[in-house]
A and B are shown apart, each in its own frame.
Chain A
Amino acid sequence: MGSFSLNYLLRRLLVFFLTVWVAATLIFIIPRLAPGDPIQAMIARMTQFEGYVENADLIIEAWRKRFGLDDPLHVQYFRFLGNTLRLDLGYSMANFPATVYELVGRALPWTIGLVGIATVIFFTVGNLCGALLAWYRTPKWLKVLIPMSMTFTSVPPALFSLLLVYIFGFLIKVNEKPLFPQVGAYARGTTPEFTLEFFGSVLYHGFLPAMSIVLVTFGFWALGMRGMMVTIEGEDYMILAQAKGLKPFYVLYRYMIRNAILPQMTALAVSIGTLINGSVLVEIMFVYNGMGSLIYSGIANQDFGLIQGTSFILIVTSALAVLIIDLTYPLIDPRISLEGR
C-alpha cells in the first residue's frame, strides 16, 4: 500500500484536465456551429415559440454587448474559459434572475446521491454474484438463479424504469394508493430539512429510480467478475492455498475476490460516463429533481445556457469521479505504485 508513482499521478491529472478543457471547448464551439450567432438563434427559437418578439433587434444588440459577441473569436474563447474556471456559467434564460450555478448547486447533490448509492449497491451485489457464480462451493440453485436475473443486463435503465413505474407505481396498489410514488424525489408539500421523516421520504421516493439503475447494471459486473474468477481459479497459488488447507471463505475473499476486484475497479472508472448517461434519463423518467430533470427543463424551455452549464458540470463531475477511482486504485493494488519507478 502506499504512494503512487509520479508518472501515474501526472497522467491521471492530465486526463482530468484535458477532459474538462475538451468539454469546455466543445460547449463553446457547438452553439457557434449553428447558423447565426447564439443570441440570434435564441431569438429565433423564441419567435418560433411565442410567434413574435417585440424589439428583437434591440434585444439582440443588448445581449451581443452583454456577452461580448462582437469581440474576436479567440478573445471570446479565453473569456469563456476564464468564466468557466470560476464556475460563472451565466444566467438561466428561463428562470432569469437565477444563475445556472445556483440551479446546478441545488440539483447536483440529488444526482450524486442517487448515482452514488446505486453505484455502491450494484458494484457490491454484482461482484458478489459474479464471485459466487464462479466459486466451486456455491450451491447449485444459486448458480441457476443468478444468470436468469442477468437477462435485464442489456436493457437501458430508462426503459426499465418505465416498467418499474408501471408495475410498482401504477398496477400494484395498497389501500388504493400505489406501492411506490411515480415521480419526485420527496413527498410533495414537504421542504428539504434534516429530519428523520424527510429522510425516509427521500429513501421511499429514491427506491424505484435507484432500482432501475441497479437491476439493469449489476449483471454486467457479475459477468465481468465471473470471467476474472474463472481465470484466477486456474492459478497455481489457488492450488497451493487449497493444499495448505485454508478455509474456503478465506480463500474466496483473500485469494480470489481480492485479485479479481482490481480489473473491476478499472472497468468502473471506464463506465462512469455511461452510468451518468443512464441516470440522467432515469431522472427524467421519474421527474427526480436532479441534473437530468434540470437538463430536461432546459430543453423544454429552450434555455440553452442551462443545458450548457448543466452538461458541463455533469461532465466535470464524472471526470472527477473517474479521477478519484483512479487515485484510489494504487491503494488496493500495490503493484501499480512500483511500476513507474
Chain B
Amino acid sequence: MAERTKDAPVAGGTKEAGLLNRFDNPWMNWKFLTGAGIIGFIFFLIFLGNQFWDTELALAGASPLNMPPVGFTNWRNQEGIPEHPLGTENSGRDMLALLIVGTPRTIGVGAIAASVGMGVGILLGFLAGFVGGWVDDVIRLATDVTITIPSLLVLIVIQAVLPRIDLVTMALLISMFAWATPTRYIRAQVLSMRESGYVQMARLSGVPTRDIMYKEIMPNLLPYLAASYIGNMTGAILSAVGLELLGFGPQRIPSLGVTIFWSIEAAALLRNMWWWWGIPTVILAVVFIALLLINLGLDEIANPRLRKAN
C-alpha cells in the first residue's frame, strides 16, 4: 500500500501518467487533445465539404428522393449512386450537403448561447463573490431558481408563441438559461480564491479591487472558465437539439436536429432509412463526446489533484 501514501512525489508511478506528462505540461492531456482533435477534424471536413461539394443540394427538391447511401439498397431496391454518396431524404435533400450545412449551424447555436451565458456568468459570479451582502443573496437566489426550472419547458412555451425563429434568436433565448450554472461555479471559485494567500497579499499591498479581479484571480480561473464554457456549450446544443426535435427551428436549411425531426415525422425508422436519422444522430453524438472529452481534459488541466488520480 506504499502507493497510497500522500507524500510520494508521483503516486505509485503509474506508467501512463508518467509517459503522457513527459514534460510535465498539463496541456499535454490526452482527453483534451483527442476532443479538440475530433472537433478540429469535423471543422476540417466541413471546410473541405464547402470547397468541393455543392451545398445547394441541401435544399428541398434538389435531388432524387429516398436514395440510399452508396453500397446499400432502399426498400424499393434502388442502389445508392455516387452523386449522392450518403443518400437523400424524402424531400430530395442530399444528406452529405445537409451535414455540411447543418453541423456548423448546430455547433454555432451552442457557441453563441454559451458565449452570452458565460459573459453574464462571469459578470454575476464576480459580482456575487466580491461584493457579497445582499447582492450576493439576490444573485444566489436567481441562480438557484433558474437552475431549478427545466429550461426546455419555458423555451417550448416561448417557441409555441413565436414558432418560426432563426437560429441566432434561438441561441439568445437558450442563453437566458445558460448563465446560471457558470455564475454559481465562478462565484464558488472566486470565494475560495479571495481567501487565498496571494490575493490577501495583493489586497494588503493596496491593489485596487478591479486589478485583483482581472490580474490576480482571472488568470487562475481561465482553465476553469474554459471547462465551464465547454460544458455550457454542450448544454446549449442539447437545448437547441431538443427544441429542433419538437419541430421548432429553421425549416428551409435544416440543422441536424431539424433533420432528425423530419426523419421521425416521416417514419424513417419503419422504412429502414437509417441514413436519414442515423448519420445526423451519430455526428451529434460524436460532437457531444468530443466536447465531453475537452471538458474532462480541461478539468484535469485546471485541477492537478484530478490529474494525479489517473
Contacts and interface: CB of A to CB of B under 8 A. Distances in A.
B291 to A, nearest CB: 7
Contacts, number: 147
B277 interface: yes
B150 A315 contact: yes
Interface stretch (A81-89, A117-125, A152-160, A190-198): A152-160
Interface in A1-27: 14-15, 18-19, 22-23, 26-27
B305 A19 contact: no
B278 interface: yes
B150 A314 contact: yes
Contacts of B306: 227, 230
Interface in B272-306: 272, 274, 277-278, 281, 284-285, 288-289, 291-292, 296, 305-306
A155 B147 contact: no
Interface string B1-27: 100101000000000000000000000
Interface string B237-260: 011011001110000000000001
B242 A277 contact: yes
A315 B158 contact: no
A315 B285 CA distance: 28
A62 interface: no
Given A154-B292, A230-B306, A234-B6, A295 B156 contact: yes
Contacts of B1: 136, 242
A14 B141 contact: yes
A297 to B, nearest CB: 11
A284 B246 contact: yes
B288 A156 contact: yes
A31 B4 contact: no
Interface residues of A, number: 61
A27 B154 CA distance: 8
Contact of A30 (B148, B161, B281): B161
A231 B162 CA distance: 48
A273 B235 CA distance: 12
Main secondary structure on chain A at its contact with chain B?
helix
Interface in A281-309: 281, 284-285, 295-296, 298-299, 302, 304, 307-308
Contacts of A270: 147
A281 B150 contact: no
Nearest to A226: B309
Interface string A303-325: 01001100100110011001000
Nearest to B159: A299
Interface in B148-182: 148-154, 156-158, 160-162
B269 A276 contact: no
A318 B150 contact: yes
Given A15-B144, A136-B4, A158-B245, A273 B150 contact: yes
Interface stretch (A69-77, A162-170, A205-213): A162-170
Residue among A154, A273, A322 with the highest chain B CB neighbour number at 10 A: A154
B150 A274 contact: yes
Residue among B145, B150, B241, B274 with the highest chain A CB neighbour number at 10 A: B150
B234 A277 contact: no
A103 interface: no
Contacts of B201: none
A153 B289 CA distance: 8
Nearest to B160: A307
B263 to A, nearest CB: 9
Given A30-B158, A154-B291, 12 more contacts: A15-B145, A15-B148, A26-B154, A136-B4, A162-B278, A166-B274, A273-B147, A273-B148, A274-B235, A307-B156, A315-B149, A319-B148
18 contacts: A19-B149, A134-B309, A136-B1, A156-B288, A163-B278, A166-B274, A182-B269, A223-B296, A227-B309, A234-B6, A274-B150, A280-B242, A284-B246, A304-B160, A307-B156, A311-B153, A315-B150, A318-B148
Interface of B: 1, 4, 6, 141, 144-145, 147-154, 156-158, 160-162, 234-235, 238-239, 241-242, 245-247, 260, 264, 269-270, 272, 274, 277-278, 281, 284-285, 288-289, 291-292, 296, 305-306, 309
